[in-house]
């Protein structure tokens, strides 16, 4: 038994004829066939309309995977069963089956369990897209003033690619609208797909169309005049799918005056660079003349100019820089292979922060690498400031007061703030409250971006702290090694002095290595640095544990939800003569402004402490370098002294051996050979094991060596 829609049983057996199944023994009815199950469901779907998934020319219902890993949606024709509609339905199935593009919903073979006719026409099996359609996304209160920039660019890329594919295959959609664009989550990325080709038309080479089909609100102007049309009707409709009709738009003032604009209205969620190019693109797409719409065709490439401009928009590499001192976002279009130094020069001209004082941090607290191009801060596939940001810090400042003034109110919102009790028509309030919701959401997002900048500063501080810890450990380790060497050297010198004093009467009359000549190293500096670093580590840990190191925007998020719910209650259709005030919405605005003011003050106070700790680390690093260099120099001095000491000992040993050899030779010549079981120089000792006094010649040789060695030692020290 397979599970159908909403858990209803779907039999896996062959289709049974449409008859009442016989009841087996026990009184329970036999399982219905797939044909009967789905006939019943599709019939019920027709009565439920859009709630059942009404799509263009038919009803679609989701179907769980059958023998495959893909989900299917089964679409049945809902049109009146005349010959024209049957032909149109079959034509849609024919077109769908031959298309294969990631941004056009894909058709599949109807599973055998469901391969039957409904109203004497076949079913259509399509890929099931679970994220709803574009209309649902546009109607969301969060998008009441437009989609986010990343969503706009993604939509432009997907729908433009799908329409280009259809036109390359000589197909005009003719009914492109938000309801006919669905969203699907593929590997964590939202993909837009074009559906419902029920009104699509194949174009023969050079053919024109004159039939009047489509959705009235999205028809191109020439369709109203019953004029011939071409693929450019789809260019007109892409605009409506991109946004609610506010771009290159006409609107009614609160006074009732209708006004027009060639620019995108505020508020919106696009950066200045995207706004400029999008306005140009929309003007191409909304040209009243169908011959000029889309910019015509490029004679060199044979491609519509609107697609070329779209590719330029999508190919822009824009870096969005959040200035943490002013909380303003600076958007810059990067030139090919632009360097970080060039980017810093442009930032300096825009913000006044010198290139030498700039610190540009990525989200994870990593500084931009000056050896790499500036495009390192633009993540592939992410082209908007709401998804990726570079944070600008002024290294000449450690105290950040922060911009505590909230973003400015739009004229409409300011109107109700000045008089929240004024009664306005519901139709006007919808627009005003939409901008109010956008304002509240904007305040929360402003804080979120600044908090992300503070987090980047914390991660950068931790990186500096890790480097400081590493250098401190190296310093302490080198200091301990030097202490061990000095201790060994002192002990060696003490023993040498003791032995020299015992042998002074036998030729070594002066100690060469004096205590005053030993290398001295002051360990007090190391201890002081160590204490400073430990105290700094404690301060950093306290900053990490501080509640201000975590998001404090819970109250703002609650206020955002309250504003959205208030807007939802107003949004349902009401009589045109209905009026209401804005008292509740203005209260939410005031509370959000107050909440943002408090969290920003705490954020910048915490940020100042972070930057203060970072500056302390920056000041300590060169001191540790100096200490390491001193340790290295002292270590080299110890090793040089040890080497000279060893050379002296070996020279004295050589003299002793030479003297012993000479005495042995003289004795042998007078008394004959004498057997010796030890070194020859030991024969010069008396019975008590004391060296015999040197001759005057040997004594002079030793004094010369001692003088030369003293000169060498004094020169080395």
Contacts of 310 by beta carbon, 8 Å cutoff, 6+ apart: 156, 160, 281
Nearest in space to 333 (alpha carbons), one of 381, 375, 279: 375
- Residue 384 carries which DSSP code? S
Same domain, 77 and 13: yes
Q: What is residue 694's predicted lDDT score, i.e. its pLDDT?
A: 52
Number of domains in the chain: 4
Whether residue 716 has pLDDT greater than 70: no
The dihedral sign for the CA sequence 99, 100, 105, 111: positive
Q: Hey, which of 119-123, 394-398, 712-716 has the most confident mean pLDDT?
A: 394-398
Q: What is residue 372's predicted lDDT score, i.e. its pLDDT?
A: 93
User: What's the pLDDT tens digit per position in 131-165?
Assistant: 899 999 998 999 989 899 989 999 999 999 999 99
Whether residue 402 lies inside any domain: the answer is no
Average pLDDT score over the chain: 77
Q: Which long-range contacts (CB under 8 A, 24 or more apart) does 208-214 make?
A: 209/172, 209/174, 213/174, 213/175, 214/174, 214/175
Whether residue 278 lies inside any domain: the answer is yes
E-state strands within 291-425: 318-323, 328-333, 358-361, 390-394, 424-425
Q: What is residue 457's predicted lDDT score, i.e. its pLDDT?
A: 96
Same domain, 142 and 191: yes
Nearest in space to 333 (alpha carbons), one of 353, 312, 360, 364: 312
Whether residue 282 lies inside any domain: the answer is yes
Whether residue 561 has pLDDT greater than 70: yes
- Residue 160's alpha-carbon distances to 164, 223, 290, in angstroms, are 6, 22, 18
Return d(Cα 317, Cα 30) in angstroms, integer. Answer: 63
Q: Indicate the SS3 state at residue 117.
A: strand
Query: Which tops the pLDDT comparison, 457 or 15?
Result: 457
In whole angstroms, what separates CA 87 from the centre of its chain?
50
Same domain, 270 and 298: yes
Nearest in space to 607 (alpha carbons), one of 413, 391, 317: 391
Q: Which of 277, 306, 335 is the last residue of a domain?
A: 306
Same domain, 609 and 521: yes
User: What's the pLDDT tens digit per position in 203-230?
Assistant: 553 444 544 455 655 566 655 555 666 6
Same domain, 520 and 610: yes
Whether residue 365 lies inside any domain: the answer is yes
369 flagged as catalytic: no
Q: Which of 306, 338, 365 is the last residue of a domain?
A: 306
- Average pLDDT of the residues in 325-351: 93
Q: What is residue 602's predicted lDDT score, i.e. its pLDDT?
A: 92
Among the options 133, 158, 175, 287, which is catalytic?
A: 175
Whether residue 451 lies inside any domain: the answer is no
- Residue 421's alpha-carbon distances to 209, 562, 582, in angstroms, are 54, 19, 6
Domain containing residue 464: 457-635
pTM: 0.75
For residue 217, give the H/E element and its range: none
User: What's the pLDDT tens digit per position in 11-60?
Assistant: 333 333 334 444 444 444 444 444 444 444 444 444 444 444 444 455 45
Question: Which of 18-27, 181-190, 504-513 has the lowest average pLDDT?
Answer: 18-27
Tokens encoding 376: 């390192």
Q: What is residue 283's predicted lDDT score, i.e. its pLDDT?
A: 85
Same domain, 143 and 291: yes
Query: Which tops the pLDDT comparison, 364 or 573?
Result: 364
Q: Hey, which of 35-44, 46-55, 388-397, 638-647 has the most confident mean pLDDT?
A: 388-397
CATH number, position 389: 3.10.20.90
Q: Which of 593, 615, 635 is the last residue of a domain?
A: 635
Same domain, 242 and 263: yes
Same domain, 298 and 322: no
- Tell me the CA end-to-end span of the chain in Å, nearest whole number: 96
Whether residue 57 lies inside any domain: the answer is yes
Q: What is residue 77's predicted lDDT score, i.e. its pLDDT?
A: 73
User: What's the pLDDT tens digit per position in 109-130?
Assistant: 888 777 666 667 788 888 888 8
Q: What is residue 119's predicted lDDT score, i.e. its pLDDT?
A: 63
Return d(Cα 9, Cα 40) in angstroms, integer. Answer: 13
User: What's the pLDDT tens digit per position in 413-427?
Assistant: 999 999 999 998 888
CATH number, position 253: 1.10.510.10
Give the percent of the chain with pLDDT over 70. Answer: 68
Q: How confident is the model at residue 683 (pLDDT cuts 50, 70, 90)?
A: very low
Same domain, 147 and 210: yes
Question: Which of 210-224, 302-316, 654-668 has the lowest average pLDDT?
Answer: 210-224
CB 416 within 8 A of CB 432: yes
């Amino acid at each position: 038994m397979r599970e159908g829609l909403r858990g209803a049983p779907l039999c896996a057996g062959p289709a049974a004829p449409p008859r009442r199944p016989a009841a087996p023994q026990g009184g329970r009815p036999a399982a219905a066939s797939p044909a009967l199950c789905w006939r019943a469901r599709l019939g019920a779907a027709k009565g439920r309309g859009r709630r059942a998934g009404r799509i263009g020319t038919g009803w679609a219902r989701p179907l769980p995977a059958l023998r495959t890993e893909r989900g299917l949606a089964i679409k049945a024709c809902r049109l009146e069963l005349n010959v024209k509609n049957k032909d149109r339905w079959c034509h849609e199935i024919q077109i769908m089956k031959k298309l294969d593009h990631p941004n056009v919903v894909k058709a599949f073979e109807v599973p055998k369990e469901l391969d039957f006719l409904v109203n004497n026409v076949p079913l259509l099996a399509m890929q099931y897209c679970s994220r709803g359609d574009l209309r649902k996304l546009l109607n969301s209160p969060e998008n009441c003033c437009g989609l986010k920039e990343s969503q706009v660019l993604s939509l432009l890329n997907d729908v433009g690619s799908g329409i280009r594919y259809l036109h390359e295959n000589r197909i005009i959609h003719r009914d492109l609208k938000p309801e006919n664009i669905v969203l699907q989550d593929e590997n964590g990325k939202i993909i837009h797909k074009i559906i419902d080709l029920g009104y699509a038309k194949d174009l023969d080479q050079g053919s024109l169309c004159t039939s009047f089909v489509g959705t009235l609100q999205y028809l191109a102007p020439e369709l109203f005049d019953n004029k011939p049309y071409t693929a450019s009707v789809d260019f007109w409709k892409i605009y409506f799918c991109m946004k609610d009709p506010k771009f290159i738009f006409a609107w009614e003032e609160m006074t009732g005056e209708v006004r027009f604009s060639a620019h995108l209205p505020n508020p919106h969620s696009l950066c200045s660079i995207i706004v400029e190019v999008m306005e140009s693109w929309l003007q191409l797409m909304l040209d009243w003349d169908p011959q000029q719409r889309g910019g015509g065709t490029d004679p060199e490439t044979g491609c519509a100019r609107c697609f070329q401009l779209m590719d330029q928009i999508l190919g822009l590499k824009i870096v969005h820089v959040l200035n943490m001192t002013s909380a303003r976002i600076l958007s810059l279009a990067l030139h090919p292979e632009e360097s970080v130094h060039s980017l810093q020069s442009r930032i300096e001209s825009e913000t006044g922060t010198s290139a030498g004082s700039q610190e540009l941090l990525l989200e994870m607290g990593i500084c931009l690498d000056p050896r790499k191009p500036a495009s390192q801060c633009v993540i592939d596939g992410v082209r908007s400031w709401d998804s990726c940001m570079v944070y600008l810090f002024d290294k000449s400042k450690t105290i950040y007061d922060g911009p505590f003034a909230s973003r400015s109110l739009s004229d409409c919102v300011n109107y109700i703030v000045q008089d929240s009790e004024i009664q306005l028509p519901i139709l006007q309030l919808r627009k005003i409250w939409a901008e109010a919701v956008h304002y509240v959401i904007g305040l929360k997002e402003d804080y979120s971006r600044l908090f992300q900048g503070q987090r980047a500063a914390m991660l950068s501080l931790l990186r500096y702290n890790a480097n400081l810890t590493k250098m401190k450990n190296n310093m302490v380790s080198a200091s301990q090694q030097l202490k061990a060497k000095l201790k060994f050297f002192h002990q060696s010198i003490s023993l040498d002095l003791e032995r020299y004093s015992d042998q002074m009467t036998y030729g070594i009359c002066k100690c060469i290595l004096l205590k005053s000549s030993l290398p001295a190293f002051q360990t007090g500096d190391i201890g002081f640095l160590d204490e400073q670093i430990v105290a700094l580590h404690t301060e950093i840990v306290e900053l990490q544990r501080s509640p201000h190191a975590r998001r404090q925007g819970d109250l703002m998020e609650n206020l955002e939800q309250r504003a959205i719910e208030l807007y939802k209650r107003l949004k349902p259709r009401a009589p045109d003569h209905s009026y209401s005030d804005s008292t509740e919405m203005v209260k939410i605005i005031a509370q959000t402004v107050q909440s943002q003011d408090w969290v920003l003050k705490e954020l910048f106070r915490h940020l100042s402490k972070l930057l203060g700790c970072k500056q302390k680390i920056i000041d300590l690093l060169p001191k540790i370098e100096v200490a390491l260099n001193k340790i290295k120099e002292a270590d080299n001095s110890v090793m040089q002294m040890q080497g000279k000491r060893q050379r002296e000992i070996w020279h004295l040993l050589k003299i002793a051996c030479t003297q012993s050899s000479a005495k042995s030779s003289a004795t042998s010549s007078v008394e004959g050979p004498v057997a010796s079981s030890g070194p020859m120089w030991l024969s010069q000792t008396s019975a008590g094991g004391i060296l015999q006094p040197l001759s005057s010649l040997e004594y002079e040789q030793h004094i010369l060596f001692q003088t030369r060695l003293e000169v060498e030692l004094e020169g080395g020290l």
